[in-house]
Structure 1
Amino acid sequence: MASSQPNMERFLRDWRQDALNKAQYDAAIFIGDKLLALTKDDKDAFWLAQVHFNAGNYTRSHDLLISHNLIGSNPSCRYLAAHCLIRQNNFAEALALLGEATPTHLFTTNANANAKRKTSRTTTRGTRAGSKAPERQPDEVSEEEWSIRRYEAGMCYLRGLCYAKENAFDRAKEAYKNALRIDVQCYEAFTQLVRNSLMSPDEEDEFMQSLDFGSVRAPKGGDDPELQTEPGDYVHMLYQTQLSKYRNPRAFNVAVDSLSTHYGLADNPDILLARAEQLYTQCRFKDALAITTMILKEDRSNFPAYPVHLACLYELKQTNELFLVAHDLADNYPDKACTWLAVGTYYLATSKIADARRYFSKSSMMDATFGPAWIGFAHTFAAEGEHDQAITAYSTAARLFTGTHLPHLFLGMQNHAMNNMTAAEEFLKSAFSLCRTDPLLLNEMGIVLYHQDRLKEATRLFRQALRVADDTGADPHAWLGVRTNLAHAYRRLRLFDEALAEFDAVLRDGGKDAAVLCAKALIRLDQGRPDDAARVLHEALAVNPQDPIATELLNKALEESSAGGLMGALRAGLDPADGGEEVEDVGIAEMERFELELEEKKAAARARLERRTRGRAAATSSSSSGDKGKGVMRGNARGGGRRGGGGYGADEKAESMMEMSDDG
């Protein structure tokens, strides 16, 4: 209906917009109400409801839409009404308003065109090689239709929020994906999928290829075809930086380099954070920490950066810095979940497990979709050896965050610690189905196979873990445990040259280590080279003079070397090729001396045996539990070794000491 006072309408609309731009919501509401009384226009009613929403008056906004019968009139009003209900935590009512039917006719997926889409850029204007012009031109869609499409996508996103609050995460994931199929620029839906780990790395890649980034509307007035496709390429690269850092590191690096070079995003916090996340997955904690520190120095309210920042501080054992960060967050942002994550991380780093558990629990209750809090909560049980409770907590995390492999990995590690090798293998296989390029996962799978005596399969996985770490540019020092495990597997397969090469690489990259040197010495003993073994064991004792394994192996090496010397001299004395009666006389003398020494050793051995027999009889009569000293095997839940008890001799003790290192 045409108004009789168009000039006054224009004046009031300008005034309302000016107040809205200044965040003067009371003024905007006051003027908007007068404008609506003057025009009785549905658009002015919608705008007034929008101002109420921005001011936090969700009930008034919802009631205004109902009173003017706007909810059923168009998608924008229904979207706003549902959003008001969600802000009031009326999720069931919001879902009833939105309905569960998805407007599939609005999907703009273009799988065939995007399957060949590459992430490398070949021009400075932003065109990716191999990209094709979209079959459907977005400019052919009117502005009104485009607006409806975006509100429909927004309603799919709101459906996802409602489903997530009802713990229907599969339906929530599908709703978020539908939002992006309708409007690829619905970033809210995209970030819910990625930050909540609702898709596996392979699923992310497949879904990205199915989206029609060519539907992104380019600015009008340009005839250059490169300018028409550039916005879509830009959005694609922005999304690429937010995906899993395990799946395609090369595509990630290309996207980051292009955004940094062509669009001035080299110092953008989101791009820097993406780089830090990639460095963290490569165990380059110092480099990742340097980036997150720079981000938080510029903006300490950048809450997405805190989980990586806190994890790096924990890994580097910087407890003082953890305390300062946690204290600052608790003072200034007590209503944020990451605040109590920081407090819990500090207590975990200082071994105050009960306090850490309490604050991790508080963080997860404040935000049920905050994955780091759930993982930290489960870690507190694992730290105390409470494997059953840890498994329960990790299982909850696996149910909430279906797209990440980490809960399944930790479940496998817990079952491994409990010696449930079959269950451990199943959980690790589940993790592997979600992510095939995590070196830590490959290492854990290899350890389980090692303990099942499937040495060739274990060796293959250890090699694969090192290859993946090398391909991603990971810090070599971070994967010394994997290389050590590979060397032990080679040793048990009696591939001594390969084992020695790996042990040498560990010593070269990680410095002297007594356990690794003992492993090398054991190989030399197996090769019948006791002199070389003794030299290596002297190096081990120089590193750790009190090492019992090195001491016992050294005694064994010296005994073998001495015996070998006597037999060599004997063979030399009896060899007629070395000629003459003089040599034969020397040989006879050496034989007589050897026989004399042998008789003396036999007598001494019989005496020791009698003393030992009397001592064991006395010990047996005084204790039925047996010796609990160093002669009993005590397997470590994570440090390898045979599990269970039982005595062993020198060879068995050395074999146990050389069991797997799980530190990779």
Structure 2
Amino acid sequence: MEQFLRDWRQDALNKAQYESAIFIGDKLLALTHDDNDAFWLAQVHFATGNYTRAQAFLSKQDLIGRNPACRYLAGHCLIKQSRFEEALAVLGERNPTHLISNGPSNKRKASAQPRGGRRRDDDAGDEEAATRRFEAAMCFLRGICYAKQNAFDRAKECYKDAVRIDVQCFEAFQQLMKNSLLSPDEEWQFLDSLDFDSIQLTGDPKSSQEAAEFTKMLYTTRLSKYRNPAAFDTAYDSLSTHYQLAANPDLQLARADLLYTQCRYRDALTITNAILEEDKYNFAIYPVHLACLYELKMKNLLFLIAHDLADTHPEEPCTWLAVGIYYFSIKKIAEARRYFSKASMMDAHFGPAWIGFAHTFAEEGEHDQAISAYSTAARLFMGTHLPQIFLGMQNHALNNMTIAEEFLKTAYGLCKSDPLLLNEMGIVKYHQDKPKEAVQYFTAALKVADENDSEPSAWLSARANLGHAFRRLRHFNRALAEFDEVLRAGGKDAAIFSAKGLILMEQNRPQEAVVVLHEALAIHPQDSIATELLNKALEETALVDGAAEDEAEDLADFEQHLERRKLEASHKLNGKRTGRGTMDKGKGRLGRRRTMLIDDEDEREETGMDMTDDIDDEA
């Protein structure tokens, strides 16, 4: 009869027929008085959303004190009711760290034991394993309580202990990764510290080892994509080929996230589009998908997505994130801020919403409010370097170079391989009159971007900044080469043409500067810098032309004087007829002399240009 009732209860649960499950479960508990049957009945109440009834039932049966599973469920009920202090009181505030395994040594001990133990020993082992799993789950719930109380350091430790106690407690691992509670270096160190060898399949050591490796590869795909892309690629390739998970949405999302960090927006968008075609409302995909659409300026698609989500899922934070990004893309900043704020209120730990909310203040030049919002994001998401970068940018905009440098150094401590960060550090060094150090950072940013195979257009600013740093160092030819590369890759830019014009004027090439500055003004006619430089270039050109005219007049006077003297000499020496022949000879000689003078002048100009190039090269 007991087995019949358990099967009936399970069948009702499988079909989500909760009334039937409660009815049968109540009769089964009356027959058995078993703690497990009481736990299952409370589980059904929990599944229906009746958290108060489930918690009261567990308390009345006095199950919380003697059964870890029931204590876990009671704590979960209280968390669902936002009664976090009471939940901590039920769960206890201390983690059972004595349950944390010591790594592979435990597996060796387990493998050394004979497999053919008694059935009672097997049952005891299963019970111990179940207790261990529920203790890990309670660590996870403690972390939830601390996070809700904004005690993020304690929450992080609870999540870490939960995974250390039970490496299969993915909920806790996901909280660490999703909320960026660990830096990229800490994430990889934490992964290496986990005891995947504790995963055991009954009676099959080889399968246990494969399961451990499979779990580690799955976890590897969830880590930061900045730190170790090679290890990610290895895990991704193995899962895709050997286990045929290439089309799995979670694996594809990890791949799209990697491509996004490498600024390969079109490649990432191709993947997210493929995922959403199969599952249109997979909300884990939308933050990366929306970010790619924004970077590629696809405003119409942003509008369509935001409109559809607002109609179908107004209760999802991602919906209002999409609406906020659309308004931000069309420069309606006040509306964007309102919807970013709405998304963050629906989920206080939704990172993209907080970053977007802060961006709206930065876009309007409200630096103090932007710094406050970015600081909140930095406090909520301790492991990501992005809020620190943005804080550095805002202090740079306020000309607080020392503070900006400190924030960027903090970001660099979290992540050393982000080209955006390296570019910003170079900008600060440039404005601190340290162009040599700026060149090092700009060069490093371009090197990392090239290694990541990023889209060239994504790093035009870094290349332009490198050109300005070379100009400051008076490496004019190298600066011109960088500016020319920017113009080839990014089309027309008035500021770059103006910078080229300035360099050409420094090289005493005003005529070429005039041409370049005219191109700048053709793009931006009201550019005051280009206008001023053009006026100076034209003045220098006029001075050069005037000097050339004066020299030509002096040369003509000299030739006339020389011809007159030669004519007089020929008359005195040879008479009229001979003088005429001599005069003809003199004309020929004068003609050759003029050519030589012109040749000398050209040679002198060419020599002057060569000297300028030598000076530039030496600089």
**TM-score, length-scaled by structure 1:** 0.78
2:314 to 325, 334, 346: 334
Q: Report what 2:444 is aligned to.
A: 464
Distance 2:520 2:514 in 1: 10
Summarize the alignment of residues 95-114 of structure 1 with structure 2, pairs less than 5 Å apart. Answer: 95-110=88-103
Q: Distance in 2 between matches of 1:133 and 1:506?
A: 58
Over residues 49-80 of structure 1, what are the superposed CA-to-partner deviations in whole Å (9 max), with x where a residue is unaligned? 22222222222222222222221223112111
Would you say 1:187 and 2:167 are equivalent positions?
Answer: no
What is the correspondence of 1:474-485 to structure 2 with a 5 Å cutoff? 474-485=454-465
C-alpha deviation, 1:543, in angstroms: 4.9
Q: Does 1:216 align with 2:199?
A: yes
CA distance in 1, matches of 2:472, 2:523: 25
1:509-658 correspondence to structure 2 within 5 Å: 509-540=489-520, 543=523, 547=527, 549-561=529-541, 563-564=543-544, 582=562
144, 156, 180: which one pairs with 1:161? Answer: 144
Q: Corresponding residue for 1:73?
A: 66
* Separation in 1, partners of 2:107, 2:33: 43
**Counterpart AA for 2:172:** A
How far, CA to CA, are the matches of 2:545 and 2:504 in structure 1? 17
Q: CA deviation at 1:172?
A: 0.2
Pairwise CA distance, 1:145: 1.5
User: 1:247-396 maps to which residues of 2 (within 5 A)?
Assistant: 247-396=227-376
> Displacement of 1:37 after TM fit?
1.3
Decide whether aligned partners of structure 1 residues 384 and 557 sit closer, same or farther in structure 2, where only a CA change above 3 A counts: closer
Code of the aligned partner of 1:500: L
Q: Deviations over 1:10-40 (max 9, x none)?
A: 2111111111111111111111111111222
Shift of 1:301: 2.2
1:153, 1:182 within 8 Å by CA — same for their partners in 2? Answer: yes
Tell me which of 421, 430, 448 is aligned to 1:441: 421
Question: Does the 8 Å CA contact 1:503/1:520 hold for their aligned counterparts?
Answer: yes
Kindly indicate whether the alpha-carbon contact (under 8 Å) linking 2:106 and 2:198 is maintained by their aligned counterparts in 1. no
Determine which of 398, 404, 414 is the counterpart of 2:378: 398
CA contact (8 A) 1:138 1:216 kept: no
SS of the residue 2:82 aligns to: coil
Q: CA shift at 1:564, angstroms?
A: 4.1
109 and 518 in structure 1: CA distance in 2 versus 1, 3 angstrom threshold: farther
CA distance in 2, matches of 1:583, 1:504: 51
**Matching residue's letter, 2:260:** Y
RMSD: 2.8
Report the 3-state secondary structure (helix = DSSP H, G, I; strand = E; otherwise coil) of the residue aligned with 1:233. helix
Rounded Cα–Cα distance in structure 2 between residues aligned with 1:109 and 1:396: 37
Query: Could you tell me which residue of structure 1 aligns to residue 154 of structure 2?
Result: 171
The separation in 2 between residues aligned to 1:432 and 1:238, in whole angstroms, is: 27
Provide structure 2 residue ranges, at least 5 long, that are not aligned to the other structure: 114-121, 566-589, 595-619
> Is the contact made by 2:164 and 2:194 (CA closer than 8 Å) also made in structure 1?
yes
Instruction: Name which structure has the greater RCO, CA cutoff 8 Å, separation 6+.
Output: 1
Equivalent-residue separation in structure 2 for 1:18 and 1:557 (angstroms)? 88
1:419 corresponds to which letter in structure 2?
A: N
Q: Which amino acid aligns with 1:101?
A: R
Cα distance in 1 for partners of 2:26, 2:208 equals 42
Which deviates further from its counterpart, 33-42 or 308-317?
308-317
Q: Pick from 23, 26, 30: which aligns with 2:16?
A: 23
User: Match for residue 413 of structure 1?
Assistant: 393
Cα distance in 2 for partners of 1:352, 1:546 equals 26
Q: Kindly provide the CA deviation profile for residues 289-337 of structure 1, in whole angstroms up to 9, marking residues without a partner as x.
A: 2222222222122111111122222222322222222222222212211
* Deviation larger for 480-489 or 332-341: 332-341
CA deviation after TM superposition for structure 1 residue 385, in Å: 1.5
Unaligned runs of 5+ in 1: 1-7, 114-131, 591-664
**2: distance between equivalents of 1:46 and 1:584?**
126
Task: Quickly say closer, same or farther: Cα 1:583–1:419, change in 2 above 3 A.
Answer: farther
**Distance in structure 1 (CA, Å) of the matches to 2:112 and 2:30:** 37
Provide closer, same or farther for how the CA distance between residues 228 and 579 of structure 1 changes in structure 2, counting only shifts above 3 A.
farther
Query: Residue 228 of structure 1: CA displacement?
Result: 3.4
Partner of 2:79: 86
Cα shift at 1:545 = 6.0
Go from structure 1 to structure 2 and tell me whether the alpha carbon gap of 1:542 and 1:63 turns closer, same or farther (over 3 Å shift): closer
SS of residue matched to 1:97: helix
SS of 2:180's equivalent in the other structure is: coil
CA distance in 1, matches of 2:187, 2:39: 37
Which among 219, 237, 245 is matched to residue 217 of structure 2?
Answer: 237
Return the offset for 1:188.
0.2
Deviates most, 347-356 or 297-306: 347-356
Change (3 A) 1:137 1:498: farther
8 Å contact from structure 2 (residues 159, 172) kept in 1: yes
Asked whether the equivalents of residues 99 and 165 of structure 2 are also in contact (C-alpha less than 8 Å), the reply is yes
For 1:125, the equivalent position in structure 2 comes to: none
Verify: 1:148 aligned to 2:131, yes or no. yes
SS of 1:303's equivalent in the other structure is coil
CA distance in 1, matches of 2:23, 2:439: 74
Pick the structure with greater CA Rg.
2
Q: Output the amino acid matched with 2:415.
A: C
The residue identity in structure 2 corresponding to 1:100 is E
Q: Give the whole-Å Cα distance in 1 for the aligned partners of 2:342 and 2:515.
A: 56
- Determine if contact 1:313/1:321 at 8 Å carries over to the other structure: yes
- Residue 449 and residue 584 in structure 1: after superposition, are their counterparts in 2 closer, same or farther (change >3 A)? farther
- The answer (yes or no) to whether the contact 1:276–1:291 under 8 Å persists in 2 is yes
State the match for 2:569 in structure 1.
none
8 A Cα contact 1:249 1:472, kept in partner:
no
Q: After the TM superposition, which parts of structure 1 deviate over 6 Å for at least 4 consecutive aligned residues?
A: 138-141, 568-575, 578-581, 583-587
Query: How much does 1:561 deviate?
Result: 4.4
* Counterpart in the other structure of 1:205: 188
* Secondary structure, counterpart of 1:321 in structure 2: helix
Match of 2:481 in 1: 501
| DSSP 3-state at the match of 2:167 | coil
Q: How many residues align?
A: 556
The structure whose residues are more often helix, as a share, is 2
CA distance in 2, matches of 1:417, 1:41: 67
The alpha-carbon distance between structure 1 residues 532 and 38, as it changes in their structure 2 partners (threshold 3 A), is same
**For residues 387 and 483 of structure 2, what CA distance do their matches in structure 1 show?**
32
Q: 1:350 to 1:551 in 2, by over 3 A?
A: closer
